[in-house]
A = this chain, B = another copy of it.
């Protein structure tokens, strides 16, 4: 026997997500919280980026973190908690991205009344998360030098979907072949207004520029 079920077509599913994303944005605005959806390939340094950002910005804002993972592990949330920052973990149950409903459930577990800045670490994936708005104020993409300079050309949807680009692991530049001009030409073609900051989350190099931008957004 063939089992069938009736479901909404894709346009409506995305629209349902967008409805909840709008609710999330309204809720965050009402609570005076600026928020970032941080996306990247696995291993590009999302958690290290969050930890460095905490170190550099705790003077001017109070941070909360939502960590998305495909499995029931708290490796990243534990690192953030160890830095004295409230963190909550979303287990997607194998799903390849966060969606607005997951974030809605996730961020309400945080002490929102004492947070100015919410950092959301999405699942490590350079394809799927780009299609799901969460309701955060800005989308941030972390690229990393050892990933290679051809990624904008090969994953254009992600590079089109973001507002800020962090180019991480500049400390590895002497040891890998990465043509920054070729990389940025690809970025420029897809997203001409994309703000970008080359940084090393390991050493903190380049964080001044990123933190200035962040401060201008949080302290509006």
Contact = CB atoms under 8 A, between A and B. Distances in A.
Interface of A: 2-9, 11-12, 41-43, 69-71, 73, 75, 94-96, 123-128, 144, 146-148, 150-151, 153-157, 169, 171-172, 175-176
Contacts of A8: 2-4
Contact of A9 (B3, B41, B69): B3
A71 B153 contact: yes
Nearest to A186: B73
Residue of A4, A43, A153, A172 with highest tally of chain B CB at under 10 A: A43
B151 A42 contact: yes
A143 to B, nearest CB: 9
Nearest to A149: B43
Contact of A71 (B43, B75, B95, B155): B155
B6 A2 contact: no
Contacts of A125: 96, 125-128
